Amino acid sequence: MSATIISSLVSLLHHLSPALVYTVVALLVFGEAAILVGFVLPGETTVLVAGVIASQGSINIVALCVLVVLAAIIGDSVGYLIGREFGVRLLDLKPLQRHRDEIDRALTQLERRGPHYVFIGRFTAFLRAVMPGLAGISRLHYRRFFIANALGALVWGIGCCLAGYAAGSQLGLVEKYIGYFSWGLLVIIVGIVATVVIRHRRRLRLVD
């Protein structure tokens, strides 16, 4: 996300009352997780910015952490239920068609390593947005989903809040490195998936 957008978010939140700051952050985090195309919403960046504002004393960092974690957990649960109820019809949405290969790989991994993949997905922008819905589509048991999702939301939510709180004026640099980490993690996940698929195909050939 560009420095201009970050600056705009900082300016916007600075001009809001504490109650409205909490509300905006909660809605964006909830929306990013609850809506299957939530990768268009700046949820993570807003949390980082809110952390900066908390470091300046405008809002409480503990309250922010609790709010972000709860919004993420609830939003993901809504996304899970949407995926479970509407299923594969959601995959016909145009914004998701461009990512069909990644989605198919994610569904494959959910079937094999459901809870682990849900936890890891929380830390990459694309998977964070689509994972709840895909978990619902894959029929991953809600209890297993909820535990993995809650742990991921706890680590991610508190981590982002504290990163923004510690960053201050260096927010752009922190977001840059978080972005590198997210993309790196996604590449690793894709690599693991590709390796598993190749090995599985080789085993099938040997059996044949």
Contacts of 28 (CB under 8 A, 6+ apart): 41, 42, 43, 46
pLDDT of residue 146: 94
The total number of structural domains in the chain stands at 1
Between helix 171-207 and helix 3-14 the angle, nearest 10°, is 120
CA distances from 119 to 1, 17, 76, 189, 204 (A): 24, 33, 12, 12, 30
pLDDT of residue 13: 79
Token pair recorded at residue 125: 């922008």
Helices (H) and strands (E) in the chain, counts: 9, 0
pTM: 0.73
* Domain range enclosing 136: 3-207
**Which residues of the chain, if any, have pLDDT below 70?**
1-10, 35-42, 87-88, 91-100, 168-208
pLDDT of residue 25: 92
pLDDT of residue 113: 73
pLDDT of residue 167: 76
d(CA 27, CA 177): 25
pLDDT of residue 205: 65
